[in-house]
Amino acid sequence: MVQSRTHNCGELRIGDAGKKVRICGWLENLREVGAELAFAIVRDFYGTTQVVLETPELIAEMKAINKESTVAVDGVVRERASKNPKLPTGDIEVVPESIELLGRCRFNELPFQINRSREADEATRLKYRFLDLRNPEVKNNILLRCNVVSAIRKSMTEHGFTEITTPILTVSSPEGARDYLVPSRNHPGKFYALPQSPQQFKQLLMASGIDRYFQIAPCFRDEDARADRSPGEFYQMDMEMSFATQEDVFAVIEDVLPPIFEQFGIYNRASKAPFKRIPFTEAMEKYGSDKPDLRIKLEIKNATELLANCGLPAFDSANIYAVIAPECSMARKAVDKLAADVEVQTAEKMYWFRVDENGEVVGGISKFVAPIKDKVVAELGLNNGDMVALSANTQKLAAQKTAGVIRTKLGASDDRYIDRECYEFCWIVDFPMYEIGEESGELEFCHNPFSMPNGGLEILKKAAAGEVDPLTILAYQYDLVCNGVELSSGAVRNHEPDIMLEAFKLVRLGEDDVKAKFPAMYNAFCYGAPPHAGIAPGVDRMVMLLAGEDSIREIIPFPMNKNAQDMMMGAPGEVTQKQLDELHIAVTAHEDE
């Protein structure tokens, strides 16, 4: 018995027939059959139960109650004459002796039908999220999240990890995204920052002698929303290991995640250890992405030498990559849509041609390919019926990325090209340590500034002396990818102060800068830190994959919209002048106002 209930709305069965019970829940529906017969559906967290009303008085009493009001029904369980095998409670019904209104819904019209709330527009769903969550389909995603987190905690504890919570109010740190800042009342002009990740704290725990750490960590980044990224806050299964190598991290993740995906996922197949390992350069060359969906059987091919001189102006001095779709039956209209979708996503054109049943090249850029048809067919291994989609750009990486988008879209278009019913994991390894920033045009860290370079201090000194191109330095960094979704980034950490200083020197940060930006970590490492490594798979993305959802907002209890607004609570909102004065903040008008 829970509170005033004898049973919940999902547990009564035929064996309970004859019992006096009290159930409580929301009035989902009322269906009148005649003057003296009606059926009500009462729903709670656990399920639904049918209540049969067989007197005009009880029918009138229930009709006076708006849908989605909360009610209590006292009555007797009996076997249903017309059973519903689709429901766990479909063999029984409750004949009420009394009905009690517990919480009235004061509106005759709801913003949406509860069981069809997912068909409503997103703004309405987010504004009335408390109603949206009453939909069992929506609620089940939240329960899935709960069960997955519980399973992760259990498995990590069994692997010898200690759960430790790290601070939420900390200092601003240059970790790649914009910080959320919190003004300090007691220290005018100074700010806390919400952590983009527990990165520094977990490394400090390693220096503190904690051997294996983990937590389900809240992280905060002022980023724009995407289908697989929620603006504002997200959660990750953060872990770090002392005296560990990349192999140690891989072994733990490959032991923890597959059973969870097999148990809770909509597919019951997941990659077994060891996961496939793909160097970054190979991933870009074969798949056009550093988060390839390995369920797709297609690969991209470098066709630069083959097609550079075919006469098509766009191919002059360009890097050209081809995606071959075997026995492609895609109609011309579908090909045009594919090309348009690729251009919208990449701002790059897609080129194409087809080999017809007679072995001739037709469609698209076929007139440029026809003179060298035999060579193209031989080198690309084409058969009659194959279609070839191509990307071209003077920048190699841009051409690869466009081909990667083509590969993904082509793969999803035909079941022959993809095995949809499984979870395919892989590791992307050997990332470049540095890159040229798109905005700055200068050398920047490619991934994580706290990663150990492959080659250690020696390779960094050679780069500083001009003997080695910094862009060729690889790092012990790795990404965990599943079905084309990046679940996590991780790395073997740079735990030596000398290596840290040399690494930051290449991005124009001197010793004083490092000491000022990372004082605790630098000082801790000067006291002897163990070699350590870690990773942090995203919980939200993981549950999104397990639930088979396309949007991450479907598995977050109270998500923001794509503009980082909480439509239900009205955040961000205004505050009083008194609050601003206490925090020593003056709000100035925006230029657009």
The mean of the pLDDT values for the chain is 94
pLDDT band at 500 (very low <50, low <70, confident <90, very high): very high
What CA–CA distance (Å, rounded) separates 192 from 323?
A: 49
pLDDT above 50: residue 1: no
Determine the pLDDT at residue 224: 81
Q: Which of 551, 575, 573, 577 is nearest to 564 (CA)?
A: 573
Determine the pLDDT at residue 447: 79
User: Residue 265 burial by CB count (10 A; 0-12/13-18/19+): exposed, middle or buried?
Assistant: buried
pLDDT tens across 79-125, in order? 999 999 999 999 999 999 999 999 999 999 999 999 999 999 999 99
DSSP 135: S
Cis peptide before 274 (omega within 30 of 0): yes
What CA–CA distance (Å, rounded) separates 96 from 512?
A: 77
DSSP 472: G
Enumerate the domain spans of the chain. 14-103, 138-250+257-272+425-563, 296-417
Place of tokens 């190598």: 245
Class for the domain spanning 296-417: alpha beta
Q: Record the pTM.
A: 0.90
Same fold, 14-103 and 138-250+257-272+425-563: no
Per-residue pLDDT averaged across 449-472, rounded?
94
pLDDT above 70: residue 53: yes
Phi, psi of 158 (to 5 degrees): -65, -25
CATH architecture of 14-103: Beta Barrel (2.40)
The total of other beta-carbon atoms located within 10 Å of residue 34's CB is: 8
pLDDT band at 176 (very low <50, low <70, confident <90, very high): low
What CA–CA distance (Å, rounded) separates 554 from 546?
A: 12
* E-state strands within 285-357: 300-302, 319-325, 351-355
Per-residue pLDDT averaged across 471-486, rounded?
96
Tokens in use for 450?
């706290």
Tokens in use for 51?
């209540």
Determine the pLDDT at residue 431: 95
pLDDT above 60: residue 189: yes
pLDDT tens across 393-426, in order? 999 999 999 999 999 999 999 999 999 999 999 9
Contact 477, 431 (CB under 8 A): yes
Determine the pLDDT at residue 3: 59
Contact 309, 387 (CB under 8 A): no
CATH architecture of 138-250+257-272+425-563: 2-Layer Sandwich (3.30)
pLDDT above 50: residue 384: yes
Which residues are within 8 A (CB) of 109 and not within 5 positions of it... i.e. 6 or more apart?
none
Which residues are within 8 A (CB) of 302 and not within 5 positions of it... i.e. 6 or more apart?
285, 319, 320, 321, 322
